[in-house]
Amino acid sequence: MAVKYGGWAGQVLRVDLSTGAITKENTIERYMDMLGGTGIGYKVLWEETDAEVKAFDPANKIIFGVGPLAGTGAPCNGRTAVTTIFPVCWPKALTATGHMGGTFAAKLKYAGFDAVIIEGRADKPVWLHICDGQAQLRDARHIWGQGIPRTDQEISREIGPDCSVAAIGQAGENCVPMSVIINARSHSAGGVGAVMGSKNLKAIAVQGSRPVYIAGDKGKWEELINLHLRLLGANNQHVVPSFPSPKSEYYHPGSRWNGAPGKRWGAADPPVQLTDDIYSLNRIAFRTNSAAFFLGDSAWKYTVRGSGCHSCPIRCHTIIKDPGMAAKYGIREIAQNTCSGMNFGRTFFPSLLHDRGDAAREACIMGMYLADDLGIWCNYGQLQRDFIRLYKEGIFKAKLGAEEYASIPWKKCDEGDPTLLMDILPRIAEKRGEFGTVLGLGTGYMLEQWGLDEKLWGADPATAYWKMGHPKHHASEDDGQCGVIINTQYNRDAQCHSHCNFVRNGLPIHEQKRLAEGIWGSPDAVDAVGDYTPVNIHKMKRAKWAILRKELHDSLSLCNWMGPWAASPLKERGYAGDDTLESQLYSLATGHHVSRDECDFIAERIFTLHRALTIRGMNELNMRERHDLCPDWIYTDKNGRPAFSRGTIRMDRADIRSGLDMFYELMGWDKATGAPRRDTYVRLGLGKTAAELDARNLVPKT
Amino acid sequence: MNTTRMQTSTPALRIRQACEEGRLLAKKELLQALGECPAAPDASAPSLEQFEEEIRTALAENPDLSIVYGPDGEEFYRCVSLMSATYAEILAGKNMPCLLMAETVRKNSKEYPRPIALDIFEYPPFDLIPESIEACLRHMAATADFDDINFVESSTGTVYLYSTKYLDHDYAAFLAERLDVVLALNP
């Protein structure tokens, strides 16, 4: 008799756009060993594509995967992993994932599915309607050419407002690699919009009313949810407030827990004053104001409230309202986003990078309005950093024709005039001219197109370029060798927050070291920022832990921008979180009981399959020399300070090599090449993967 | 302890109530309050020693209460479950703003480690006016006891204070830049 599990919806939807065939597969039978999310995505790409498939080939697949916790009551379960052969990855498109929060993940579960596999290419624009176990392709010609909000609105009108629509804008339609998929207004999956566009798929709309069953004891489930809520801090799991509070022993001005009592959501109707019960589980949403974090205290006046993902109390997508700005520029008065999305507009302007006044706010609102309408991706701010460098160094002038160069209002860039964005962003979305076409390719292909040296691009810390067309994502500037090693592992920016959520949590270093000893075996697993010591095995254990938890989150639909919950705001727990939280949630939801280590073992399988995909995609065994690379800027210091001196993020080459040795050893990978050993594949249940790679001489011989 | 005293006026309740309101109760304030609310209307006025004994008893019998000393030795009381030690130390130091600023800077430099932006002293619970802050900076610059208090500016001109006992200038500059500039551009 088949075992019944909770958590999963039980079916994966497959849509062949070339033939119109729509089929269903059993999730448990085919994908349970990979949980969901990225796990399903990697498995589909491994089994169903080959190394020669290019991003925009009909043979490429794009997998919208969610996990067994999506749609449950577990906090922070709103993530959808969109896995595909990633068009911005340079010099060759390889497997990578864009992640989006919002409502799509939960709604997909309520519609009856754990994942949607899209393959082929439609012969005309279509959108996919998924509802209560059924799916249908529908004509999208009337919305093709429209921006994302209007697409969402039109589809919602057709099928009802209880849906979640994941759509592309004009950038995705035009196969601009630097494009996104967005649902719920502002929740975007970066770098994958053009793959949808290449398939003539404008949107996927999901709705349904099917339940997500919890297999375990309901009382225990509720207890666990309450514990999880108590362990939450603010955005990025910052566990202390940014302000001194009678209720908190610690505070940290760099914390995103900036909702101090007395602050007001000034643009709410009526305005809302934040209360002083900062630990109340019913006031968690008061803690985070992303607009105020990035734009300063003046943003409170324009704040309506926080918005966010399904079942997440953090609400990090702060909604701001500025009627004056709307009237001045003729745009929508409401905008919402967080992090890079919030900063999208201002970071095109050198004069606004550090500004916290009206001009920066206006540029941010303009950026959100345009980017989330056209569906343009910033590549974690690399688009803007490239833009500024190309402009400052006269490269635009040299590479664009005189007429095209003269047609761009550069003065507006110098003056911080946000209407510059009204000019340059449509050029990118429409692939207009050399400027629009090349900037839309992504950094690696841009450098190649214009004959610029990638090594030189990676020598400048301000450009923050890392490798393969992508920037650093919480590397040595946040977490020394741990951050560096994590940034070597992916085919896009690492998108890993497990490590930086811990080191940025706001606790003093002695508390962090005490917690580190409990989880990674030594207080030396963590350094104070900018006071880095030589690498040690405990740091590399933490690096491995960070990556595995990221993959675990991405496969369960938990948010790695919030988790793992290694620390908490709770003094009575010694500020400890609960490192077994994910395994407990998974076990109770599904009824498949696993320990923390067993859960991490599954995550290791998932990440190792990602490694195998990279090795196959590159047709390269020597990951160490060809893939796990660092830019030169991490080995420099503008003041000439040596590595391991206080006040520098400079790394040491031999030390990083040593760190890779340790990391490979912990992963069961060959030290010489950084490729998983055969016994590692076998241990993880990936023996067939090893055999396929072996046939291509892509498994280490030792 | 005088068990006839009204429950609302016992030292323990007064300390807890003050902490709930975000205040720290000074010994002199508590003694005055106890004197204004005698145990019984017809009771003869208790002596200061009796009140002090009453406070000592309350502290001994209530493990959630503790003494906080201000930088000048003044005695305050807090309820540990309602007010953090850090917050209480700030409140206890408000009568000596220069010392409060210096001790705050030292503690932050030592524990986190981090420099502290000067403007934090303008906000609650410090609530110092800019003129007082400026006066303290001048005083600290001219006083040997504060030799270790130094300042550094971020690239945007924000002034941070740090203690040279725990941070050297380069590290303080690095941390100030991180707090003021880097974190907001490194989301």
DSSP for B29-43, please give it: HHHHHHHHS-SSTTS
Of A338, A477, A646, the CB nearest to B182: A477
Query: pLDDT, tens digit, for every residue of B124-178?
Result: 999 999 999 999 999 999 999 999 999 999 999 999 999 999 999 999 999 999 9
Paired residues of A84 in beta bridges = A96
Tokens found for residue A280 = 């109340």
Angle (CA) B146 B152 B156, round 5°: 150
SS (H, E, C) A434-474: HHHHHHCCCHHHHHHHCCCCHHHHCCCCCCCEEECCEECCC
Query: pLDDT, tens digit, for every residue of A411-467?
Result: 999 999 999 999 999 999 999 999 999 999 999 999 999 999 999 999 999 999 999
Domains along chain B?
7-91 (1.10.10), 96-185 (1.10.10)
Contact of A293 with chain B, judged by CB distance below 8 Å, is answered with yes
* Smallest CA–CA distance from A637 into chain B, residue: B174
Paired residues of A204 in beta bridges = A128, A166
Q: How far is B11 from chain A (nearest CA, A)?
A: 20
Residue A474, by phi and psi: left (phi above 0), alpha (psi -120 to 50) or beta? left
Mean pLDDT across chain A: 97
Residue B35 confidence (pLDDT): 80
Q: Rounded distance, CA A524 to CA A539, Å? A: 7
pLDDT tier, B40 (very low <50, low <70, confident <90, very high otherwise): low
Torsion sign over Cα A15, A19, A22, A27: negative
Tokens found for residue A55 = 């991003």
* Smallest CA–CA distance from A385 into chain B, residue: B185
ipTM exceeding 0.90, yes/no = yes
Residue pair A505/A512 in contact (Cβ under 8 Å)? The answer is yes
What does residue A422 show for φ and ψ, rounded to 5 degrees?
A: -65, -20
Residue B9 confidence (pLDDT): 62
Domain residue ranges of chain A, discontinuous segments joined by +: 11-207, 258-466, 473-695
What does residue A78 show for φ and ψ, rounded to 5 degrees?
A: -95, 20
Residues of chain A with Cβ-Cβ distance to B86 below 8 Å are: 244, 248-251
Residue pair A6/A589 in contact (Cβ under 8 Å)? The answer is yes
* Smallest CA–CA distance from B24 into chain A, residue: A246
Identify the architecture of domain A473-695 in CATH.
Answer: Orthogonal Bundle (1.10)
A318-327: average pLDDT:
97
Q: Collapsing DSSP states into helix, strand and coil, what is residue B184? A: helix
Angle (CA) A595 A522 A546, round 5°: 50
Torsion sign over Cα A203, A204, A209, A212: negative
The answer for residues whose C-beta is within 8 angstroms of residue A438's C-beta and 6 or more apart is A399, A445, A446, A449, A450
Which one of A354, A382, A495 makes the best mutation probe of the B interface by having the most chain B beta carbons within 10 Å? A354
Q: Rounded distance, CA B68 to CA B27, Å? A: 10
Residue B1 confidence (pLDDT): 41
Residue B49 confidence (pLDDT): 86
* Smallest CA–CA distance from A339 into chain B, residue: B187
Angle (CA) A474 A478 A484, round 5°: 60
A386-395: average pLDDT:
98
Angle (CA) A390 A396 A397, round 5°: 130
Residue pair A326/A332 in contact (Cβ under 8 Å)? The answer is yes
Contact of B120 with chain A, judged by CB distance below 8 Å, is answered with yes
Domains A11-207 and A258-466 share a fold: no
Contact of A252 with chain B, judged by CB distance below 8 Å, is answered with yes
* B7 has pLDDT over 80: no
Q: Collapsing DSSP states into helix, strand and coil, what is residue A488? A: coil
* A87 has pLDDT over 50: yes
The answer for residues whose C-beta is within 8 angstroms of residue A597's C-beta and 6 or more apart is none
The number of C-alpha atoms within 13 Å of A459 and in the hemisphere containing its C-beta is 5
* Smallest CA–CA distance from B171 into chain A, residue: A647
Torsion sign over Cα A17, A20, A25, A30: negative
pLDDT tier, B37 (very low <50, low <70, confident <90, very high otherwise): low
Q: How far is B123 from chain A (nearest CA, A)?
A: 9
Class of the CATH domain delimited by A258-466: mainly alpha
Q: Rounded distance, CA B173 to CA B59, Å? A: 44
Please report the residues numbered 536 through 575 in chain A whose beta carbons come closer than 8 angstroms to any beta carbon of chain B: none
Mean pLDDT across chain B: 91
pLDDT tier, B43 (very low <50, low <70, confident <90, very high otherwise): low
Query: pLDDT, tens digit, for every residue of A512-542?
Result: 999 999 999 999 999 999 999 999 999 999 9
**Which amino acid appears at position A435 of this protein?**
F
A201-213: average pLDDT:
98
Q: Looking at the domain that runs over A11-207, which CATH code has it been given?
A: 3.60.9.10
Paired residues of A13 in beta bridges = A24, A116
A180-187: average pLDDT:
98
Residue B4 confidence (pLDDT): 44
Neighbours of A4 (CB within 10 A): 11
Of A353, A510, A648, the CB nearest to B185: A353
Residue B146, by phi and psi: left (phi above 0), alpha (psi -120 to 50) or beta? alpha
Residue pair A240/A248 in contact (Cβ under 8 Å)? The answer is yes
pLDDT tier, A647 (very low <50, low <70, confident <90, very high otherwise): very high
Q: Rounded distance, CA A280 to CA A278, Å? A: 6
Please report the residues numbered 53 through 112 in chain B whose beta carbons come closer than 8 angstroms to any beta carbon of chain A: 82-88, 90, 111-112
> Is the overall model pTM greater than 0.95, yes or no?
yes
**Which amino acid appears at position A629 of this protein?**
L
User: CB B185 to CB A347 under 8 A?
Assistant: yes
Residue B38 confidence (pLDDT): 55
Neighbours of A306 (CB within 10 A): 26
Of B87, B116, B173, the CB nearest to A647: B173
Residues of chain A with Cβ-Cβ distance to B112 below 8 Å are: 252, 508-509, 528
Residue A668, by phi and psi: left (phi above 0), alpha (psi -120 to 50) or beta? left
Residue pair B178/B186 in contact (Cβ under 8 Å)? The answer is no
Contact of B185 with chain A, judged by CB distance below 8 Å, is answered with yes
Q: Rounded distance, CA A538 to CA A516, Å? A: 9
Contact of A531 with chain B, judged by CB distance below 8 Å, is answered with yes
* Smallest CA–CA distance from B160 into chain A, residue: A253
Residue B5 confidence (pLDDT): 46
Residues of chain A with Cβ-Cβ distance to B126 below 8 Å are: 244
User: Environment class of residue A361 by beta-carbon count within 10 Å: exposed (0-12), middle (13-18) or buried (19+)?
Assistant: buried
Q: How far is B19 from chain A (nearest CA, A)?
A: 8
Residue B2 confidence (pLDDT): 42
Residue pair A338/A318 in contact (Cβ under 8 Å)? The answer is yes
pLDDT tier, B47 (very low <50, low <70, confident <90, very high otherwise): confident
SS (H, E, C) B63-75: CCEEEEECCCCCE
Residue pair A662/A541 in contact (Cβ under 8 Å)? The answer is no
Residue A1 confidence (pLDDT): 46
